[in-house]
Structure 1
Amino acid sequence: MPTELPTEVIFIGGRSGVGKSSVAAEASHLLAQADIRHAVIEGDNLDQAHHQTWREGIDLTGRNLAAIWRNYRSIGYSRLIFTNTVSVLEMPSLSAALGGQVHSFGVLLTADDDTAAQRLAQREIGTALDEHIERSKLAAARLDAASTAHRVRTDDRPLADIAAEILRSAGWLPGAPSPGERRV
C-alpha cells in the first residue's frame, strides 16, 4: 500500500501592503514554469464575514482551510502556498487544519511604513485607507516581535527575485532566480 506524501506548505505572512498576494502569484507562476504541482490559497478570504467569527471563538479559517485542502488532496496535491497576514504566527493550528503529516515553512514578508502605505493607497478605493494603514503598522509591529519565520524584505525588489528566494529557501525550486522586472 503506497504511503501518502506529506503536505508541504509555505505560509506567507506579513502586514497589509507588503505584497503577500503578488508574491504568492509570482511563486505560483515560477512553479508552473517548472511544472511543479501546487495550489495557492488566500487565507484572508477564508473568514471574511461580519460579524468576525474569530471574535466569537469560531475558527472559520481553520475549518475552511481543512475543507478546501481536503479537496485538493483528494486529487493528488501535496504542495500548498498559503497567504494570510498572521499565518506565520498561526502555523501550528493551520498545519493541524491541513491534517496528516505536514512540513511547513514560514515566510514573513516585510516592507517599511512608506512602502506599505503607498501600496495600500493604490489598492484601497473606499473610505478606510487611513484605518488600513494604521492596522498595517500595528500588524507589522506584532509580527516583527513574535515571528521567527524566514524574513524577506519586499521594498523595491522584483517579484521574481522575492518569489524565487522563498521557493529556494523552502527547497521547492533549485537554482538562482532569473532577474525579474515586475516589482511588488
Structure 2
Amino acid sequence: MTQPSPPAALPANDLDAAMNAGTDMSRLQDASLLRALTWWRGLPCESLAAGVMLPDRSRIDPVAIPDLLPHLVLWEVLHQTDGSLRYRCRLAGTAMVEIHGYEFTGLTMEEFHGAENARIQPEYDFVARYGRPHYVERSLFWMNRDYRRYRRLLLPFGDVSAMRDGVAKILNVAHFLTE
C-alpha cells in the first residue's frame, strides 16, 4: 500500500513550537490513537491535497474501525474564497456526544467551541494547509466533568472527486482521561 507522501519542508515562520511538536508522532503512546494512526497510514493514498498524497475520504470505512467509532469526530473542511478555512461537523461519535453533553453534528467549529475556537482552530488549519497529522495532549477547558485531560489526533483526508486541491475532511480521534 502507498504510504502518505512526506510533505515538503514547512517554513519556520509558519509554525510555532506547538505545531511542530504536534507532528512528532513518536510522542504518541495512547493505544487507541496509535491504532487510528496505523489504520490511516495503511490506507491507499490516491488524493492530492495540500501537495501531499493522502487517503481519500471515501476510504473511511466504519467496518474497519468499529472500536474507534465512538471516539471520532469527522470535520468537513470549508475552503473560503478569501483563503480562510472553516469547519463543519459531519459526524460525532457517541462517546464524543456524551462527553460534550449534546449532539453537535451539523454545527460549525465556531458554534461548537465558542470563545475557545481561537485557541483550537489553528491546529485544524495546520492539518488542512499542510496535510499532516497532528497530535496534542492537554488539559480541558471545562471543569464540570470527571476527566481533566485529553489526547487528540487529527488525520487529514483528501477528496478525489473535489474540484480543487485541498484537505477535504479531518478525522478527530480523541481519548479523554480521568487520572
Do these two structures clear the TM 0.5 threshold for a shared fold by scoring above it?
no
Higher helix share: 1
Higher strand share: 2
**TM-score for both structures, normalised by structure 1:** 0.28
**TM-score for both structures, normalised by structure 2:** 0.29
